[in-house]
Each structure stands twice: as C-alpha cells, then as structure tokens.
Amino acid sequence: MSITSFPERHGSARPKVTTTTIQEKKQRREPITCLTAYDYPSARLVDEAGIDMVLVGDSLAMVVLGYENTLPVTVDEMLHHTRAVRRAVRSAMVIADMPYASYHLSAEDGVRNAARFVKEAGAEAVKVEGGEKRIELIHRLRDAEIPVMGHIGLTPQSLHAMGGYKVQGKSLAAIEQLMRDATALDRAGVFSIVLEGIPREVAAMITTEVSAPTIGIGAGADCDGQVLVLHDILNLTFAQPAKFVRQYGDAATLIRDAVSRFKKDVETHAYPNEEKSYHLPKETKSAFENIATRKRAMR
C-alpha cells in the first residue's frame, strides 16, 4: 500500500462540456477532440489536457484486460472502469461504450444496461455500434433521457460478421448503406457519430450530409472531430499500430526504463537511502536505543 497523500483538487476547471458544446463546435467548424481512458490517472490527465470527450471504450477489453478482441468485456467490468473515469473527470463529457451483447438481444436490455451506466457510473452518454438496425434502441434511449453516440463503419463488435477488421465502405453498395446508416442515426437524434475505418472521401460526404458531429478514427481529416485509443498514442498496446494511429509518446519505454532502474537500485542497495526513510522522533529515540542495546546484550 502507498501512503502518499493525495491533495484536494483546487483551481478552476474549464467549462463543462455537454452535448450542446459538441454540437456547437460542429456549427463553428471547431475540431472536436476525444480520447479513450479507462482509469483515474489516465482520465484525469486527458481531462486536464482539455480534451472534449473521454470515451470509456470497450477497447478496454484488449488494451487493459488483455483479451484478443472486444467481445468478452462485460457490463460490470465496463461499469467498474467508468466509475473510476467519472471520479477523475471534471469538464470533459464522459461517454460509456455499451459492450457486446448488452444491447444486441433486445432494446429493453439496451435501455436497462445504458441506464446503469448513467445511474451507477455517472456516464453522460452511451455509445452503441450499428446504424439503421439500432434506430428503435436509440429512440428508447432518448426517451430514457440518455444521449447516444452512434458508431458506424468498422465496428469491432461485428468482428466475426465482417470477417475481420477491414476498412469498410469501399464499394458503391457499401457506401450507400453507410449513408443510410448515418442519416438514420442523425434523424434518430444521436448527438455525434463515430466513423471508424472508412475512406476519407466517404467520411467527408457523411460529415456534410448529417447535422450530428462526426468523430473519425481512421476516417480521414474531414470529420468534425477525431478519436483515438489512448494506449495507441502512447505505445502501450504491444502491437503494430494501425495505419491511422500517430504515436505521441512512448510510455512502454518510459515504464520499462523506470522499472529496470528500480530493480537495479533495490538489488544494489541504492534504494531506499536515508532520504527516503522515516526516522524516530527525538523523544522516542534514546529510549528505543536503550531497548535495542539491551536486546543485543541478551543475544
């Protein structure tokens, strides 16, 4: 256990980001920023850096829990991490990703699970994957006062149906379907739409056609905003990054280096030194030394 004391947080936070802020940014053509986070320290740093939205993505399954894909992560696991993020974030919008099978079997299930993210974990919105087929669910969620972020294109929860992680929207028929999905989500009232793994030209067309802000990931520069997985930009995924990822830091090297230095210092008795040790107060010291001397004499 660490007994490091955590200071209270003072100082003015930036204004709260809401669904209105995100929609107004689209109207003003100001780029919208979103990153994933799954725990208190990372969410706090992301929020303090001024990012608009923190997504507790189901990518948690892969980048934090070590699963092969996103399918196994459960509602309870997502709730646990959303709560930690909620405790950290003051200004950014906190969005919880609905995991696989938490809304696929029925709209009732979807609303019940989404309400848990709002009520038990403090999420301000939920994200669901899929277009036209999610319209009934989205209406039900909005009736339950839950803002929804849509997600179309390369939707990782459809991994098996898609036959792997492949760029979507390459044929004219696929582009037409994507347009139908995007406009259906827009009409159903989602506050934003993630466009993942689609050609830049298609994302640009969707962005112009819909009033909801589009948030791209591997969808080119013409979206209203961009989202990336935090562990991707920090080199913390142990995998070859996808083409669209830009690494802004090397946390793997930072951690490896710090851990190796700790190991070496312990093994060479360089840690802890006097400066990193607690000492007895004066009033106890001489009595304690007497006891220690007596003990040594008895040995």
Active site residues: 196
57 touching ligand KIV, by CB under 6 A: yes
Tokens of 114: 């989404």
Which residues are registered as beta bridge partners of 196? Answer: 153, 217
- What is the separation of C-alpha 133 from the centre of its chain, rounded to a whole number of angstroms? 25
Using the contact rule CB under 6 A, the part of the chain among 16-24, 51-59, 169-177, 254-262 near ligand KIV is 51-59
d(CA 30, CA 224): 7
Q: Which amino acid is at 202?
A: V
Q: Please give the size of the binding site for ligand KIV, defined by CB under 6 A.
A: 11
HSE-CB at 197 with a 13 A cutoff on CA atoms is 16
95 touching ligand KIV, by CB under 6 A: no
185 touching ligand KIV, by CB under 6 A: no
Q: To which residue do tokens 């080199």 refer? A: 235
Minimum Å distance from CB 202 to ligand KIV? 17
Using the contact rule CB under 6 A, the part of the chain among 54-62, 258-266, 282-290, 291-299 near ligand KIV is 54-62
* Selection from 4, 126, 133 nearest residue 53 by Cα: 126
Decide the pairing of beta strands 225-228 and 93-97. unpaired
Site for ligand KIV in 193-212 (CB under 6 A): 194, 196
* Selection from 156, 149, 150 nearest residue 133 by Cα: 150
Long-range contacts of residues 260-267, Cβ cutoff 8 Å, at least 24 apart: none
Minimum Å distance from CB 76 to ligand KIV? 17
Contact with ligand KIV (CB under 6 A) among 19, 33, 59, 168: 59
Give the nearest residue (CB) to ligand KIV.
57
Minimum Å distance from CB 153 to ligand KIV? 10
36 touching ligand KIV, by CB under 6 A: yes
190 touching ligand KIV, by CB under 6 A: no
Chain residues binding ligand KIV by CB under 6 A are 36, 55, 57-59, 97, 194, 196, 217, 227, 229
